Amino acid sequence: MLAVLSPGQGSQKPGFLAPWLELPHAEARLRWWSALAGVDLIHLGTAADADEIKDTARTQPLLVAAALLAAEHLPMYDVQLAAGHSVGELGAAALAGVLPAEAAVTLAGVRGREMAAACALEPTGMSAVLGGDPAEVVAAIEAHGLHAANRNGAGQIVAAGALGALEKFAAEPPARTRVIALSVAGAFHTPYMAPAEQALAAVAAGISPADPQRILVSNFDGASIANGREMLRRLVRQVTAPVRWDLCMKTLADLGVTGVIELPPAGTLAGLVKRELKGSGMPEIVTLNTPDDLPAARDLIARHGVAPSHEPTPMFRVVVSPGAGTFQPAEGLEEGDEVRSGQVIGQVTSRQGGADVKAHDTGVLTEWLANHDDPVAPGQPLARIGGSL
């Protein structure tokens, strides 16, 4: 299985987009997206210095545009899974077919501007906590009135909140940890960003999302999201919700991902995957930073992706598991029965509780792909629904 990952804020480097502008139509595409995002993406990606592209209002649309620009040169129809870190989730949602590229870039522009404005309301920040026991680290963060804004796995959790509280936390770090203050504008993915979430929600309300065409893994809980409106709701909620990249990587492992491509500016997520999934389950990774890396990325897709087929495509939709757990089909529902869009056809239960499995189309339950009490992973196919009523 092949996964494409879209990086988040902090991965940008001065001039990283310059080589991509040599490709046909790239400059015109970026000029169009610049008009939508309200920033000059060509300048930011080629001539701007590190301080200029550190500005949240500029960085976020730049990262989404870079990922989408590079992905246009890949055979995405052979890619089975997409995921993104923080603002990178907008790029992943576009790659999965939930949003048009134009909508993703527009939302990234709004998101960046509004989060920058929220940061200016009061002095807040973020600090990386390296090492230690994860449960103890989170408990210590919360005890100081801070938030665990990013849980990136591989021994890295990011604390966020008021600057004074961060200073006290750094002076009394949890056992076996190192605390590093991050050069960011404010406390992203915390309640401090509530004004930005409200502004983004107002714009997102005018978008009509589509259901994903491939597995789309959510930062909120590592679940595979099969409904476009649910994913759009999560993209808005993510502004104040913690990034659970640790759970996203667990989903990659649960699904048996064997190949990973990180879109530009690549390296950060690849490093986290290497540290978290080391050993026999380590996927083959390509970091796509310049057009020179495209042949390696295409080769990886050819070997780990879905082979194209010229056979007629059956008219059915597959319902997938929203998370890890045990599957229970709905009582009395059998193959051949009619189901309606939104109907609960089963439940996945885990230690954290139960999650309903809903049909996203009206049709006929043609086949169960998982049985009663079967253990299932996020994104695993559970049922096939075919034909329209």
**Where residue 28 sits, what CATH number does that domain have?**
3.40.366.10
pLDDT at position 93 is 97
132 is a domain residue: yes
Q: Are residues 228 and 320 in the same domain?
A: no
pLDDT at position 104 is 97
List 329's β-bridge partners, or say none.
346
Q: Are residues 227 and 300 in the same domain?
A: yes
Q: Which of 6, 11, 34, 86 is catalytic?
A: 86
pLDDT at position 387 is 58
Which residues lie closer than 8 Å to 230 by C-beta, 6 or more apart? Answer: none
Count structural domains, the chain.
3
> Any catalytic annotation for residue 86?
yes
Q: Are residues 109 and 235 in the same domain?
A: yes
> Any catalytic annotation for residue 310?
no
Whole-model pTM: value is 0.81
Domain that holds residue 327: 316-386
pLDDT at position 388 is 44
pLDDT at position 341 is 84
Q: Of 244, 272, 304, which residue constitutes the final position of a domain?
A: 304
Q: What is the pLDDT of residues 195-216, one digit of tens each?
A: 999 999 999 999 999 999 999 9
Q: Which of 85, 189, 304, 360 is catalytic?
A: 189
State the average pLDDT for the chain. Answer: 92
Q: What is the pLDDT of residues 334-354, one digit of tens each?
A: 999 999 988 999 999 988 788
pLDDT at position 240 is 97
Q: Are residues 112 and 125 in the same domain?
A: no
Domain holding 338: CATH number?
A: 2.40.50.100
363 is a domain residue: yes
Which segments of the chain have a pLDDT < 70? 280, 307-317, 387-389
